[in-house]
């Protein structure tokens, strides 16, 4: 029914950047609410994600990347047309930074990693 998001591995999805909207805050991304319910295990307004533009060279480690709250885009919202097939809508505050990636593939990584416990576990094995 909806082309995106497509789960490629557990809790990691593929979509496209569909556009920008003033209805979203800088720390939010919007995805068609029905597409979320149909294609994903993402809980709108609760799940956070890190985005990775596939053809963008990123040198930041995962844990330093910006995290976004995933907001469900409903039919009554102005930005609904930008996510008709489940595309990612970003805040208009990020348009200057991300405009060149409009229409490009994006990974939506919703995997939660507890870095503090991971570091403690690794260091406890070293010592």
Question: What does the pLDDT look like over 65-110, one tens digit per residue?
Answer: 889 999 999 999 999 999 999 999 999 999 999 999 999 999 999 9
Percentage of the chain lying above the pLDDT 90 cut: 74
pLDDT at residue number 109: 94
Contact 20, 94 (CB under 8 A): yes
Is 34 among the domain residues?
yes
State which residues form the domain around 24. Answer: 6-126
Q: Tell me which residue has tokens 């995997």.
A: 111
User: Residue 83 sits in a domain of what CATH number?
Assistant: 2.40.40.20
Is 1 among the domain residues?
no
pLDDT at residue number 112: 74
Considering only CA atoms, which of 71, 64, 89, 88 is closest in space to residue 33? 71
Question: How many domains does the chain fold into?
Answer: 1
What mean pLDDT value characterizes the chain? 89
């Amino acid at each position: 029914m909806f082309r995106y998001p497509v789960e490629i591995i557990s809790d990691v999805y593929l979509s496209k950047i569909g556009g920008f909207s003033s209805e979203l805050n800088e720390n939010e991304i919007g995805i068609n609410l029905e597409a979320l319910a149909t294609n994903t295990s993402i809980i709108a307004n609760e799940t956070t994600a890190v985005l990775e533009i596939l053809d963008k060279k990123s040198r930041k480690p995962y844990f330093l990347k910006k995290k976004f709250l995933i907001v469900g885009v409903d039919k009554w919202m102005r930005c609904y047309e930008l996510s008709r097939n489940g595309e990612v809508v970003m805040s208009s505050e990020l348009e200057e930074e991300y405009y060149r990636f409009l229409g490009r593939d994006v990974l939506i990584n919703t995997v939660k990693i507890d870095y503090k416990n991971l570091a403690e576990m690794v260091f406890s094995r070293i010592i």
